[in-house]
A and B are shown apart, each in its own frame.
Chain A
Amino acid sequence: MTSPLRTPLYDEHLAREARMVPFAGWSMPLHYGSQIAEHHAVRQGVGMFDVSHMRVFDAEGAGATDFLRTVFAGDVARLAAGRALYGVLLNENAGIIDDAIVYRTDGGYRVVSNAGTSERVHSWLLHHLGDDTRLQPRRDLAMLAVQGPRAIACLHEATGFDAAHLPRFAFAWHEGSMVARTGYTGEDGVEVLVPAVDAASLWRRLADAGAVPAGLGARDTLRLEAGLNLHGHDMDESTPPTAVGLGWTVAWGEDDAPVRRFIGRDALERQRRPDEVLRGIVLEGRGVMREGFAVTTERGEGTVTSGIFSPTLGYSIALARLPRGSKGACGVQIRSREVPGRIVRPPFLRSNE
């Protein structure tokens, strides 16, 4: 095994005594002492995450729009410059290769996708690339997420940039960085794509302005409370978006418009109402639900795909693949006990956005 990659903020993490763990080929901070304290910092104030392991591609050229309208199930033709779209890349069977955000820049598009799928996504994009589109992986960039009710004020203090005017899923440029009003926590905030050489100085300025460094552990509990899927756990190449609560990201097109032939469309047409769907579970007894635990519902058996102890709520919550139509009470097998739970629709928290 090759040694894990380091982000431009690696030394900052070490300086703050982060617990570093291997993650998708990268050495990343799991926490800086207390994952729960970091979680609360984001819900109550402002936290910052190094997410430089996320993969960034720029797609430019005359064919870029058609290319992305083919490989992405959302329709990028709807995007004005300065706006972004969340959606999925599908394989021919309508399974989710990855979820991603596509940004419409002045010269083309920027795609930000997951670390764990980066090789698969890169080769998939190259495979479908035409002569009139250039695909440029941007390994020269770092990415910081600043999240929480004080995120906008903190960014303003640290950089002089006021993101308050940016609508959700809009972005702007500031001193060579792309600042987008996006995130993965259910809180207000921004994600900043910054030249790698400037990343450490931005990180320190944000820290000086009160941003609490937060690791992958808090990122996971925050996203799950917000009901956001994680690729490789709640969805993968065997699940169509309609089975994991992401049917809304698919743009089928208007009835009178020419049909857009995005990859996976035909297979997805046949899976608009799959037998299994993703639902939330709130545990009503003691214990913590974990990935892989069996769930019993009135409609049959299911499986937990992500489970945590929710720091905000004080009990365990999970996403689970359940038979369509499951609702009400369920039982979760936690080691030797069956613990009662209740099936809900995510998110688990009312958003502060």
Chain B
Amino acid sequence: MSETPEELHYASSHEWARLEEDGTVTVGITDHAQDALGDIVYVELPDEEQQVEAGAEAGVVESVKAASDIYAPVTGVVIAANEVLEDAPERVNEDPYGDGWFFRIQPDDPGELEDLLDAAAYDEMCSEEE
């Protein structure tokens, strides 16, 4: 059974977003997504200072099974990418909501987070997919 922390926001494309105290937004993929993908072998992250748009492609995650695009959940500027994933992509499988984060965005409008799903709605969407 996969985990869906209450305090996060979720995109229907299986990213999670967390509003940090400093107003930035951390992005990763959900436990459900990493479980469906299987062992992750390679992650392509956006560059720092790259402008990203909500719903647009911002990276790629490759598992043993397939490649999947990663979409930015909010519009803004990338201020950090998780370089650990370059050598240790398996962190995404091991700790999708912690060490396995992908990138951090300085959002233009943090209010965009409210357009995303809450944990209950995301879980419901996943169970309908199955």
Contacts and interface: CB of A to CB of B under 8 A. Distances in A.
Interface of A: 19, 30-31, 34-36, 217, 221, 286-288, 290, 308-309, 311, 335
Interface in B53-83: 60, 62, 64-67
B44 interface: yes
Contacts of A221: 64
A76 B62 CA distance: 44
B116 interface: no
Given A217-B65, A335-B67, A286 B60 contact: no
Nearest to A37: B39
A35 B42 contact: no
Given A35-B64, A288-B67, 16 more contacts: A34-B39, A34-B93, A35-B38, A35-B39, A36-B64, A36-B90, A217-B38, A286-B42, A286-B44, A287-B44, A288-B41, A288-B42, A290-B67, A308-B64, A309-B41, A311-B41
Interface residues on chain B, size class = 10 to 19
A311 B90 CA distance: 12
Interface of B: 38-39, 41-42, 44, 60, 62, 64-67, 90, 93
Nearest to A288: B62
Interface of A is mostly: mixed
Nearest to B42: A288
A260 to B, nearest CB: 43
A335 B93 CA distance: 24
Given A288-B62, A288-B67, A335-B67, A31 B44 contact: no
A333 to B, nearest CB: 13
A287 B62 contact: yes
Contacts of B93: 34
B102 to A, nearest CB: 16
Contacts of B38: 19, 30-31, 35, 217
A41 to B, nearest CB: 13
A19 B34 CA distance: 13
Nearest to A217: B64
Nearest to A218: B64
Nearest to A21: B65
Contact of B39 (A36, A287, A290, A335): A36
Contacts of B60: 335
A63 to B, nearest CB: 46
A221 B38 CA distance: 14
Given A287-B62, A335-B60, A309 B67 contact: no
A217 B37 CA distance: 12
Nearest to B86: A286
A285 to B, nearest CB: 11
A106 B67 CA distance: 49
A256 B128 CA distance: 68
A255 B111 CA distance: 82
A30 B66 CA distance: 14
Contacts of A309: 41-42, 62, 64
A80 B128 CA distance: 57
